[in-house]
Amino acid sequence: MRTKVAIIGAGPAGLLLGQLLNSHGIDNVILERQSPDYVLGRIRAGLLEEGTVALLDEVGCGARAHREGLVHGGIELAFGGHRHRIDMKAATGKTVMIYGQTEVTLDLMNARKAAGLTTVYEAADVSPHDFDTDHPRVSYVKDGVACEIACDFIAGCDGFHGISRASVKPSAIKTFERVYPFGWLGILSETPPVSPELIYTNHERGFSLCTMRSMRRSRYYLQCSLDDHIDQWPDERFWEELKRRLDPEAVDHLVTGPSIEKSIAPLRSFVAEPMRFGRMFLAGDAAHIVPPTGAKGLNLAASDVHYLSGALREFYDEKSSAGIDGYSQRALARVWKAVRFSWWMTSMLHKFPDQGEFGARLQLTELDYLVGSKAAATSLAENYVGLPY
């Protein structure tokens, strides 16, 4: 098989890149290790920046998001038993949209199918080769048969544990990492959200977040220990702990119910530089990870593939390699700003084992400053709704 761009990974980065390239007549094939159902079953992100929604619109996949997504103009920060609203719309003129990653993925998968583009699911032993030459290849095994794709470029959209970044020789890559000493325990339940907007809480027992997927489906997160296992968190314990961390009004409004999904995610900041190695590019979680506190992971995957698709279009249409030469620097400039923002939100809102009373007091002071200062609130809002591309 031959294609222009071989994309490894059918998560949001790979699927969106495939549609963006296709809309400019650049043919591509996606190789995905898992089955479609497995990919669709991963409950992850829930919050889209306007820029991400605009990219879905650009590839004709935004209609359901506009119909079913919930547009939010603010968030609430809770500390010391009180909630304070940050009016992001007033500060920036922009909003964010609640629309689950599973829905984004489904819409992109359906569009890909309708366009008749090739996606090889359950592709084993996917491996990029010769990307330091003008003739890269990707090998894989499908149903026990060894296969190969010859291509012009490889896009590594295969997430943090993927093969693309791991195929680069260590001397060509520099990584930056911070691992946080806690995780997020998340549950999904068929209950109405406790409040119309998201509530981020700093509490002495640890962080909590109230979010949602729709007006009938809630998503809640609790900061938990990295040693915790979901078996130790039956639903009753989860709800009890959440109530301890919420303000009294939220406790009164909280509707509990059986969880339909429960998982624990570790928190990490990670950046690999550069994001281009000859004729292979990294995009999305394959190149960087942020803690979910700023809701930036999926949105960064979208801005990466926006830059990358533009660069490849320039290469094919204008016979210019300026775009692909500048991809890494351009993408990383935006990535690092989101890394900083997510690290800052995480640092301000979580209980750290070594923070002591001094650290805890500084967190509360920072939150108090934020909700009392127009300048500080605007800075948070500007980053939260997404910095411009």
Binding site for ligand RFL (CB under 6 A): 8-14, 31-34, 39, 44-47, 101, 123, 126, 157-159, 162-163, 184, 186, 265, 284-285, 292, 295-299, 301
Residue owning tokens 């020789």: 169
Strands 2-8 and 28-31: parallel
Please identify, among the stretches 39-47, 77-85, 140-148, 276-284, the one whose residues bind ligand PHB according to the rule CB under 6 A: 39-47
| Smallest gap from residue 369 Cβ to ligand RFL (A) | 25
Q: Whole-angstrom Cα distance, residue 228 to residue 205?
A: 15
| Smallest gap from residue 81 Cβ to ligand PHB (A) | 22
The correct pick among 292, 310, 323, 386 for binding ligand PHB (CB under 6 A) is 292
Residue closer to ligand PHB by CB (options 165, 296) is 296
Sign of the alpha-carbon dihedral angle for 155, 156, 159, 160: negative
CB 239 within 8 A of CB 246: no
| 193 is known as an active-site residue | no
The correct pick among 293, 309, 346, 363 for binding ligand PHB (CB under 6 A) is 293
| Smallest gap from residue 47 Cβ to ligand PHB (A) | 4
Which is the catalytic residue, given 220, 288, 291, 296?
296
| Smallest gap from residue 211 Cβ to ligand RFL (A) | 7
| 384 is known as an active-site residue | yes
Q: Residue 103 binds which one of ligand RFL, ligand PHB, none, with CB within 5 to 8 A depending on kind?
A: none
155 beta partners: 7, 281
Pure H helices in the chain: 12-23, 36-41, 50-58, 63-68, 88-92, 101-114, 163-166, 235-245, 248-253, 297-318, 322-349, 356-372, 374-384
Residue 37, number of CB atoms within 10 A of its CB: 8
Can you state the angle between helices 50-58 and 297-318, rounded to 10 degrees?
A: 40
What's the one-letter identity of residue 40?
A: L
The encoded tokens of residue 152 equal 């012009």
Q: Residue 138 binds which one of ligand RFL, ligand PHB, none, with CB within 5 to 8 A depending on kind?
A: none
Regarding 194 and contact with ligand PHB (CB under 6 A), the answer is no
| Smallest gap from residue 185 Cβ to ligand RFL (A) | 9
Cite the active site residues: 72, 200, 292, 296, 384
